[in-house]
Amino acid sequence: MSASNISSSNTIKFVYDDGIAIPYIVRFWIFLVSNILSFICCLFVLYQLLFDSNLRRGLHNHVIIIVLFMCLIWELTDVPWTMSVYLYEVASIQTPTFCMIWKFLDTTLYTTIAKLVGWASVERHILIFHDQWVSTKKKRFFIHYLPLIFIVLYGVVVYGTITPMNNCNRPFYYFIPMCAYSSCVYNSLTFSLYEYVTGGLLCSVLIGFCSIFLVLRVIFQKRHLQQQIQWRKH
């Protein structure tokens, strides 16, 4: 880290405010307790899904298994690193490479989990109302497995490529989570807008709309079947 960056970092340290009126030490204990509980829950649910053959073979559980594995990675890397900043007020490893790895993991896991849950909201309609679409191995590969593979690889490849791009020489502030680092690619308004839409807005809309629509479809179909049964009685 250059002398200019160190000077800039020290100056900003006194004026930095993330807008959260909770002291670092309080955040540390909140993260510690919640992370331990979350880690235990993840392990328990994963154990049930992986060691029960019926649950493991269920197509609707595959996306949950992937999400839980990603949550475990998050709980073992991103969260402890953030807790270190809250406890010691400095990153556990003070190098640009570490900050980039931290940013890569945080962004990849966050956006990939959001995309996976968004896709799961769509896939539920397929598995419930159009199960013939996944009735063969070939159909299951293209409709079920390929989207999951694409979503995971997309996050790894895209963020693995853009995260190290620091041609604009952003400084690293080691007293802030992820060193306050972001790739210079985000200087592009077009890419930032694309990232906002695909990584956040679209996923939220899909999750909300598809979940509500699924409940309505189930209610309407149930009423429709009841009407048919009543009609046959007459």
Can you tell me the distance from the alpha carbon of 218 to that of 224, in angstroms, rounded to the nearest whole number? Answer: 10
* Residue 170 DSSP one-character state: -
Average pLDDT score over the chain: 88
H or E, element range at 7: helix 3-15
pLDDT attached to residue 227: 57
pLDDT attached to residue 200: 84
Q: What is the CATH number of the domain that holds 152?
A: 1.20.1070.10
Q: Which domain holds residue 127?
A: 3-233
Is pLDDT of 93 > 90? yes
For range 8-35, the mean pLDDT:
74
Question: CA triplet 33, 159, 98: central angle to 5 degrees?
Answer: 55
Which of these ranges, 15-19, 69-73, 132-136, 139-143, has the smallest mean pLDDT?
15-19
pLDDT attached to residue 108: 96
Task: Write the pLDDT tens digit of every residue in 47-65.
Answer: 999 999 999 999 999 999 9
> What is the torsional sign of CA 109, 101, 176, 201?
negative
Is pLDDT of 4 > 50? no
Can you tell me the distance from the alpha carbon of 131 to that of 24, in angstroms, rounded to the nearest whole number? Answer: 50
Is pLDDT of 228 > 60? no
pLDDT attached to residue 6: 42
Q: pTM higher than 0.75 for the full model? A: yes
For range 93-99, the mean pLDDT:
95
As for how many domains the chain has, the answer is 1
